[in-house]
Structure 1
Amino acid sequence: MKKAILSVMAAALISSCAVATEDLEKIAPYPKAESGMTRHVIQLADQKNESDFMVELVIGKVMKADCNHQWFMGELDEKTLEGWGYSYYQLDEVKGSASTMMGCSEPPKDRFITTQLGDDAFIRYNSKLPIVVYAPSDMQVKYRIWSTDDKLLDSSKK
């Protein structure tokens, strides 16, 4: 079962691709990225039961880091494209990085350090519209597909 779910997630990730700017303009007049920002576009693959899927946005950058857990802080705002009702997402400011302070015996190496976005990072899966994200130019926007099956499990009574 886990292999099937992972296979579906991998297929969705591989078959998803960025929409060219011209194609995005055909869908709706999303704003151009402001100075210091980059517009990222994610087009999701069609799924049979899209309510069984969620998208998690993962925004960060590669930095030299030691063995400590490191992260950035930021607030991802959902905005509405006026006159269209379509959502897009904006991360205006990234603060940090913060870190746990444990002693490390290994030297720093390149790691992808993510921004802690909390529940705002989870978006309903909808292959009909692109996911448009504005983030600082030095940040990368990645995403993860979460899925479930229709199987419900019973709780125990005590």
Structure 2
Amino acid sequence: MKTLMTLGWMGAAACATAAEPLEAFPKAEEGMSRWVLRLPEREDAGRLRVEVVVGKLVMTDGVNRHFYGGSLESRTVEGWGYDYWILPELGPMIGTRMAPPEGAPKVETFVTLGGDPVWFPYQSQLPVVLYVPEGCEVRYRIWTAPEELEPVPEG
């Protein structure tokens, strides 16, 4: 009986270590880098959303607004059902065309993908995994909804 219990505990421990979610995700392909966002457990997770932004630090004129072409695509790890996101390629940098003041210094700017941001429900059980071209960065911010719900007038 003691041996069976020991084997049971060893099996449970092996399952716990083999269930590391990150092991299910593919390694980054050549020319790509993998970014992993692990969020801490929070009691108010139901009121939180995560905004993920992909971009690159580049020198700009500090006057015009710039963005890159491209969009994140959702994929699923076969056999696991885990979702991950990939930016197959970073498109060209596009910007407005206002003339900066003569002699204006260049400034380092985090230029992001154009279009709508990517949102995730706040979840600490699984990491958010993204694959982006090398040289890109992934940043995020947490958005919080107030506890109070505002009434909508009828009519």
Q: Smaller-chain TM-score range?
A: 0.7 to 0.9
Report the counterpart of residue 41 of structure 1 in structure 2.
36
Query: Which letter maps to 1:63?
Result: V
Report the counterpart of residue 61 of structure 1 in structure 2.
56
Instruction: Pick the structure with more strand per residue.
Output: 1
In structure 2, do the counterparts of structure 1 residues 71 and 24 end up closer, same or farther at CA, with 3 Å as the change threshold?
A: farther
**1:31 aligned to 2:29?**
no
Determine which structure has more spread, i.e. the larger CA radius of gyration: 2
**1:50 aligned to 2:48?**
no
Q: Deviations over 1:47-102 (max 9, x none)?
A: 11312111111111111101100000111011111111111110111112000111
Query: Which letter maps to 2:124?
Result: S
**1:111 aligned to 2:106?**
no
SS in 1 for 2:88: strand
Among 133, 150, 154, the alignment partner of 2:151 is 154
Among 132, 136, 142, the alignment partner of 2:133 is 136
Q: Percent same amino acid among aligned pairs?
A: 33
Quick check: 33-42 or 102-111, which moved more? 102-111
Deviation at 1:45, TM superposition (A): 1.1
Query: Which letter maps to 1:100?
Result: T
**CA distance, structure 2, for counterparts of residue 150 and residue 108 of structure 1:** 43
In structure 2, do the counterparts of structure 1 residues 116 and 24 end up closer, same or farther at CA, with 3 Å as the change threshold?
A: farther
SS in 2 for 1:94: coil
The count of residues paired between Structure 1 and Structure 2 equals 135
SS in 1 for 2:105: coil
Report the counterpart of residue 119 of structure 2 in structure 1.
122
SS in 2 for 1:129: coil
Deviation at 1:107, TM superposition (A): 2.3
**CA distance, structure 1, for counterparts of residue 137 and residue 33 of structure 2:** 9
Deviation at 1:117, TM superposition (A): 4.6
**CA distance, structure 1, for counterparts of residue 18 and residue 143 of structure 2:** 25
**CA distance, structure 2, for counterparts of residue 135 and residue 150 of structure 1:** 35
RMSD between aligned residues = 2.0
Deviation at 1:157, TM superposition (A): 6.1
Report the counterpart of residue 74 of structure 1 in structure 2.
70
Deviation at 1:155, TM superposition (A): 3.8
**Runs of 4+ with >4 A deviation:** none
SS in 1 for 2:129: strand
